[in-house]
Amino acid sequence: MSKVAFVFPGQGAQYPGMGKEFYETEEASRRIFDKASEITGIDMKELCFTENDRLNITEYTQAAMLTTSVAILEVLKERGITPDVSAGLSLGEYGALVASGVLSFEEACSVVRQRGILMQEEVPAGVGAMAAILGMDPEKIAEICAQTEGIVQIANDNCPGQIVISGEKEAVEKANAALLAAGAKRAIMLNVSGPFHSAMLEGAGAKLRKVLEPVEILDFKIPYVSNVTAEYVTDGSKVKELLEKQVYSSVKWRQSVEKMIEDGVDTFIEIGPGKTLTGFVKKINRGVRSFNVEKPEDMEKVIEGLKGE
């Protein structure tokens, strides 16, 4: 039987104007944007819809991305489009948790606002770095990172041929040189504000755990797949620990998608700005269908596509 996964993008997919058309045409989306403004004390419409210098700063980006994705999610639910499982890339995992029923949007929005601040503040600007490594097996990349002096590790296994490494700036630069010498096609330094998903963020993970302590974990409506383990999660008692570890652990996105496909998922619907995850899914397995919904007209394609089942 056909299964549908809702997947949510992470930081980097944001752009001015994201979610605006949904806000203007859908009451459910307006409720989410207005609620987010109330919870965070940020004018979420101004942040997401206009050109500004805050949208690409982590402490603002994370709340903006979650709000936009959930504003679209609510409209899909109204249209009767529901998933069998959910997953999200890094920050996107919070959208997946809302889709799974595990976190209310209000709780997720409040946590994500704090998460962005903690991650932004943990490492001074310029001390850490990230780089995309193209055209090399993850095992070889992990081996070279382990041999490199300083803190550097795999941060994201996105899809075949695309790995992201993270850590101390000097160590990342040394690893880049060693990886290119060992046969990597490209090693591209990324324009990011911190060494995300590296051991340098362990302190931020510990602080996030304290933020999560009073948060209510609700009953699962559907399972989600954790970035940390690439396994299905249905036990609410594990959620907070996994979210803490997620801040400083590698994001196993390729393995997460492979796990869902193994379980019978043949349709992936990316909810939120951009088509990043749709592209990754195609590179992981061309035998499954993938859609992205970032504008109202995209929903019609999804509805038509699902009718054919």
Q: Is 250 annotated as catalytic?
A: no
Residue holding tokens 């001074």?
Answer: 124
Both tokens of 194, joined, read: 């911190």
* Residue whose C-alpha is closest to residue 18's, from 91, 194, 9: 9
Token pair in block for residue 180? 């290119």
Active-site annotation holds for 100: no
Helix (H) or strand (E) holding 249: none
Q: At what angle do helices 202-212 and 239-246 cross, to 10 degrees?
A: 150
Residue type, 267: T
Q: Across-strand partners of 271? A: 293
Distance of alpha carbon 228 from alpha carbon 31, whole angstroms: 32
Is residue 68 within 8 Å of residue 292, measured between CB atoms?
no
Identified catalytic residue from 90, 166, 226, 249: 90
Q: Looking at the chain, how many residues does it have?
A: 309
Residue 66 burial class via C-beta count within 10 angstroms: exposed 0-12, middle 13-18, buried 19 and up: buried
| DSSP at 11 | T
Token pair in block for residue 164: 């992201």
Q: Give me the amino acid identity at 93.
A: E
Tokens found for residue 86: 């959910």
User: How many whole angstroms from its chain centre is CA 240?
Assistant: 16
Active-site option among 110, 193, 197, 250: 197
Active site members: 90, 197
